Chain A
Amino acid sequence: MVRFKVNGKERSFDGDPEMPLLWYLRDVASLPGTKFGCGQALCGACTVHQNGSAIRSCTTPMSEVGGSEITTIEGIPAMHPVQKAWMEIRVPQCGYCQTGQIMQAISLLKENKNPSDQDIDTAMSGNICRCGTYQRIRAAIHQAAKETA
């Protein structure tokens, strides 16, 4: 039995300890804002926060979740400055990758209040956007940084 918190709520899980957090969130906890894109930590669609830092939930087994605090997009109080910037710059196309991008960006801005283009590229290159919204993502992160500064 693993105990942990998701978006501030106490949870426990006694199923297959190998189950990735991603599928727990989606199929068990009914929190579908976290997306499946690759299952191999290659695309970032499944990004959530574990104790405040971005992780790939698709390769984080439930056995490693015990005692930690998980935050998903559903747990981000809207409108976070990053979400606001995303809307103002009109970043999304299909939108599927964007919750992962936003979770990654929030975590980046927590660690680096004023990231350079280079910092952003480094932090965000694990997150694929097949629709190709990268330049808007970069602009939105700069804008959110300004707003929170």
Chain B
Amino acid sequence: MKLIENVSLMAATNAASKTGARVAGAEAGRRRFLQGVLASGVFVLSARFIPGTFLAEGEQNPSSLEAGLWMSIAPDGMVTIIAHRSEMGCGSRTALPLIVADELDADWSKVIIKQAIGDPKYGDQDTDGSHSVRSSFDLMRQVGATGRVMLISAAAERWKVPAKECSTEPHFVVHGASGRKVGYGEIAAEAAKRPVPNNGNVPVPLKKRSQWRYIGKETNSLFDLRDIVTGKAVFGMDATMPGMVFASVEHPPVLGQKVKSHDDQAALKVPGVKKTIVIETFKPPHQFQPLGGVAVIADNTYAAFKGRKSLKIEWDESPHSSYNSAAYRKTLEETSRKPCKVVRNVGDVDAAFAKGAAGGGKIIEAEYYAPHLAHVSMEPPVAVAEYKNGKVIAFAPTQNPQAVQETIASVLGIKKEDVTCHVTLLGGGFGRKSKPDQVAEAAVLSKQLGKPVKVVWSREDDIHFDFFHSVAAMYMKAAVGADGRPTAWLQRTVYPPINSTFDASARYADDEMGLGWNNLPFDIPNHRAENGPADYHVRIGWLRSVANIYHAFAIHSFADELAKAADKDSVQYLLDLIGPSRTVPLQYKEEEADEKQRYPLDTARLRRVVEIAAEKSGWGKKPMGKGRGMGIAAHRSFLTYVATVVEVEVDAKGQVHIPGVWTALDAGTVISPDNVRNQFEGAASFGTSLALFGEITATNGVIDQNNFDTYQLARMNRAPKNVDVTIVESDSPPAGVGEPGVPPFAPALYNAVFAATGKRVRELPLAKTKLV
């Protein structure tokens, strides 16, 4: 990965480890995390176990057990555990503290979760790539177990008995032989004086799986559940600072345009509007910098929105004004028809194709297309920030508070240590909120105004100025033998890469290749995967499951096409393609060593989810009436194996209904099974939105869609009626759960549409194709 000189750490972090939303990056990050943070974490932990030495700001009680960074126990027994990852609906904020509490043997009802501010001392805080649990599982266990050892040690000292005679029950240390017990709160001050076991350097003994009280338990629910249903939960939209004003920004309609002139006379007459401020347009690469434009400052959000409507702005030219989606699609497709950069090669596809249809086989080709998508989390981008005396305090619904620090520091020319980012709850994120451009806007405006500013994006702003999921064209070609099995499989993918956000000259994908492209798990003797170049014209970013969406769409649609061409059952054909149980040999990057070792691509696990999903769905057993059909797809992403069967009913008007979805997943060890099911139910809905409706297009560089009328999402009446989720029991290390449900959904749905109607649709979304 080429890093751009003189772009702050932000770019390095993002370009190197985030673009691939962490199939690769996660593991690299994870290793650094354990070395860096376990080292620094436990070192700090040890320092902070000495009471009063390093008390966190505002904490006055020198007798509380200060596990510093990660947790503390107050004399009343309340345990405070730090959540260093953001909560956007995936459950990370609950899951990580649950792990600590389990190893600490704490009573969960006596646990308070405190959200961490952005600070490198926590290691990587970027809540993306479905890696919060998998990257922090070991560390969180160590934190809890260390605390437990120290509590036991203090009680043993008090009782003058050997520590090994003591054990714990929730929130108590007990000495079985004498029947004595002492509460965690009562012994906390003494525990704080105990030496940190092994100086914090060597892992302390952990519980056995059978001893877990919380990990993997059905009863776990979100820490914030009650606040959410009573309206008390504080999202970014709800953050306030005393004396703040409100801002709404008219951004350049085309990426990179600058304000040539503007007339704010009429806007200033709107009641509540105070003034307007021009925000400078970024210099490429855009990264997470503000887009530029004219901000309307007002007493309330509505006045700022209303004032914007009366602004008159003249914009200059941008090289991206020529961006037209229809023409661009042709360019991508043309590129995809010619040889591109090889990213994985097995055997010799060309030789196999040259043999052609010899021996009763055939050559099958197909092209697939997937448009841009927008994230549209229910909470649009929003942030509050105050610039004062060269420092910034921000409150933001961000997936990545360290990126907030880095972005604001680089935009304002201050040190990132001088940016404090408080993380609120996120009203959805899906990758959009890893990019803190709106927080930087608030900071820039606050600096000019000398008071705190709340920047609120409208839904239209959100849709027009997203970091879009990439538009992509895929070309597929296979040679199949007389038995219908492929002897050769070529796949080519072309799209503007995420790296274009960090390097304006980037035209080839990088980490996206690990997202369902350079790791095809099929048993085919000749296989080549390629990637072609493309120019960007809008900001490209990662969206829930990222490149897996279009990659899985092409691969699993094509697999089904081959099955149908061979007149075979789709499930049986898919299992044959996956082939015998084995570890698929892949090329790993250096930073993926951990992934290679702990998460090999195991086809037995993939087969298993296929078999379970098929069985649960009643595949092949249920009578399918007219206009009904089932489709399947199985895809591993974020190290989790997922198979999804979708049943559709296509009515007389050609409208698609989804009575049932059956998903089986193997995510290794899971923390909160019910939450995992919720994630996969949600993924089916997210998948429905993108498969049926999702499409962002541009005309002369301007995005055509505006709000939920023109960018439609699955509502209750169009979402799957019933989603059945089966979690495969597993002792394997934890893998991702937020994203992996999405990729197999669209191809499974399209395969079902084929089964129901005989129509093979090769482009997303389905709404563009008339089915009857």
Contacts and interface: CB of A to CB of B under 8 A. Distances in A.
B652 interface: no
Interface of B: 87-91, 221-222, 224-226, 228-235, 237-238, 240, 246, 271-272, 299-303, 305-306, 376-380, 425-430, 456, 458-459, 674-675, 678-679, 681-686, 707-709, 713-723
Contacts of A137: 716
Contacts of B306: 16, 18
B469 to A, nearest CB: 14
A42 B456 contact: no
Given A35-B379, A132-B683, A138-B716, A92 B229 contact: yes
A73 B682 contact: no
Interface string A92-113: 1111111100100000000000
B707 A38 contact: yes
The 5 closest A-B pairs by CB, nearest first: A33-B231, A132-B685, A96-B427, A94-B89, A73-B231
Contact of A86 (B90, B229, B246, B682): B229
Contact of A97 (B232, B378, B380, B679): B378
8 contacts: A19-B302, A33-B231, A36-B237, A36-B380, A91-B229, A95-B222, A95-B229, A134-B716
Nearest to B222: A92
A83 B229 contact: yes
A15 B272 contact: yes
A120 to B, nearest CB: 7
A94 B692 CA distance: 23
B289 to A, nearest CB: 25
Given A92-B225, A128-B715, A27 B302 contact: yes
A16 B713 contact: no
Given A73-B231, A95-B427, A37 B378 contact: yes
Contact of B89 (A23, A45, A95, A121): A95
Given A87-B225, A125-B716, A38 B681 contact: no
A54 interface: no
Q: Is the interface of A mostly helix, strand, loop or mixed?
A: loop
A48 to B, nearest CB: 11
Contacts of B686: 130, 132
Contacts of A42: 459, 707-709
A102 B227 CA distance: 13
Chain A: interface size category? 35 or more
A129 interface: yes
A116 interface: no
Given A125-B717, A132-B684, A32 B707 contact: no
Contact of B230 (A78, A94, A126, A130): A78
Given A120-B716, A135-B681, A16 B302 contact: yes
Contacts of A128: 378, 708, 713, 715
A43 B717 contact: no
Contacts of A20: 302
A43 B708 contact: yes
B237 A125 contact: no
B89 A131 contact: yes
Interface string A108-149: 000000000100111011111111111111100000000000
A39 B459 contact: yes
A24 to B, nearest CB: 8
A83 B232 CA distance: 13
A126 B713 CA distance: 11
Contacts of B91: 93
A132 B714 contact: yes
Given A124-B716, A130-B376, 15 more contacts: A23-B302, A37-B379, A38-B459, A39-B458, A79-B230, A87-B221, A90-B222, A90-B674, A94-B378, A95-B224, A96-B379, A126-B715, A130-B377, A131-B682, A133-B685
Task: Choose among A86, A93, A129 the residue with the greatest number of B CB atoms under 10 Å from its CB.
Answer: A93
A92 B231 CA distance: 12
